[in-house]
Chains A and B, each alone.
Chain A
Amino acid sequence: QVQLQESGPGLVKASETLSLTCTVSGDSVSSTYSYWSWIRQAPGKGLEWIGYDYYIGTTKYNPSLQSRVSISLDTSKNEFSLRLRSVTAADTAMYYCARIGTGDDAIHIWGQGTEVTVSS
């Protein structure tokens, strides 16, 4: 049974870098069948795809965030991470890590989410 667990600070100061980690159990971040993704949801809003990383080093990022975001895999720890630079209040959201199937592009597994608030 695949499980994902987000971790990281719940409060980040404006202009600083948001860093989150997703620990994977029951699967490998080196899997050929999985894109490892981050998705967020601002309070009262819809879901926003941030991007994903794939084990061969392919990354895709939401064009609206591309200049500030990076996602990377750590195969030694079987986890992946999100870094979002120069945050503002608009980056306040629930952040979910997720696994996307490479064959069907469906988001099969979601973490429980971690709430991040950007303070001024």
Chain B
Amino acid sequence: DGGITQSPKYLFRKEGQNVTLSCEQNLNHDAMYWYRQDPGQGLRLIYYSQIVNDFQKGDIAEGYSVSREKKESFPLTVTSAQKNPTAFYLCASIDRDGPDTQYFGPGTRLTVL
């Protein structure tokens, strides 16, 4: 089955710790994205990558970092510099053969205690 996986579904961390959220896709998509969603809010773009070894900052990149060493993987690190890290994090990828429809992973809910 093709799709996007994110793990874990729920993650708890202590304040001041860095944490890495995984995102893996087997859809052979070139472009991948990370979004943050706060309760009752829309999706805000953190980082995106159009190709391996390249990525760009989105609208709220401060306090986050990413890497794109493999086409299938786009992990997001939430650093201690992120002031309000508790949120729902969504990873997505795009099928370039279609109208840029985004496919989303199931999301990771991060709670910083």
Q: Do A and B come from one complex?
A: no
